[in-house]
């Protein structure tokens, strides 16, 4: 009987924190960390502050990204597990691309400089750190950082 109770309790704990009011995944799931350390896909986190620490507290709920490739194709990333996270199959990274941040209604709220990213730079959170690395200004954010929205 004790084993059954412990098993049931562990199942309940594993299923907690999955969805928000609007059905999207929310909660904590390594926001700001390199997705490639555990997963076989590209990904990252949209934050509410440019220099936010790696924390769910600063992640932008219900935001995702769209990639606009130099060859004219686009790919909109599904929202990933955890608030602010998104994921992109590595096979979809095929050309230089621009990153566009979308709110929950699909409206553009931020974008990178045109075709700045290349397929070999697929671990978004390794450059988009709290203070930025390799020329990144900091985190991917849910507001118009560059002033380039259309």
What are the domain boundaries of the chain?
20-141
Specify the pLDDT at position 17: 37
Q: 56: pLDDT confidence band, cut at 50, 70 and 90? A: confident
pLDDT on residue 20: 39
Check residue 45 and give its pLDDT: 92
Q: What is the pLDDT of residue 75?
A: 92
- Mean pLDDT (whole number) for 59-86: 89
What's the mean pLDDT in 37-55? 87
pLDDT, position 6: 39
In this prediction, residue 13 carries a pLDDT of 32
Mean pLDDT value of segment 82-110? 89
Quickly list DSSP for the chain.
-HHHHHHHHHHHHHHTT-B-TTS-B-S-S-TTS-GGGT-SSEEEEEESSTT--SSGGGB-TT-EEEEEETTS-EEEPPB-SSTTEEEE-GGG--S-EEEEEE-TTS-EEEE-STT-B-TT--BHHHHS-SS-STT--SSEESS-SSS---
What is the per-residue pLDDT for 85? 87
pLDDT tens per residue, range 135-149: 999 999 999 876 644
Which pLDDT value is given to residue 28? 73
Residue 99 predicted with pLDDT over 90: yes
């Amino acid at each position: 009987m004790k084993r059954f109770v412990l098993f049931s309790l562990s199942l309940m704990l594993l299923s907690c924190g999955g969805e928000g009011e609007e059905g999207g995944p929310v909660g904590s799931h390594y926001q700001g960390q390199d997705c490639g350390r555990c997963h076989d896909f590209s990904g990252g986190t949209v934050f509410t502050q440019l220099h936010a620490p790696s924390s769910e507290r600063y992640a932008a709920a219900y935001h995702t990204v769209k990639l606009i490739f130099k060859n004219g194709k686009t790919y909109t990333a599904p929202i990933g597990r955890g608030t602010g996270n998104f994921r992109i199959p590595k096979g979809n990274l095929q050309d230089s691309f621009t990153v566009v941040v979308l709110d929950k209604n699909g409206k553009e709220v931020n974008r990178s400089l045109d075709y700045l990213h290349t397929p070999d730079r697929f671990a978004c959170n390794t450059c988009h750190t709290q203070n930025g690395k390799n020329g990144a200004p900091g985190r991917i954010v849910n507001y118009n950082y560059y002033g380039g929205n259309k």
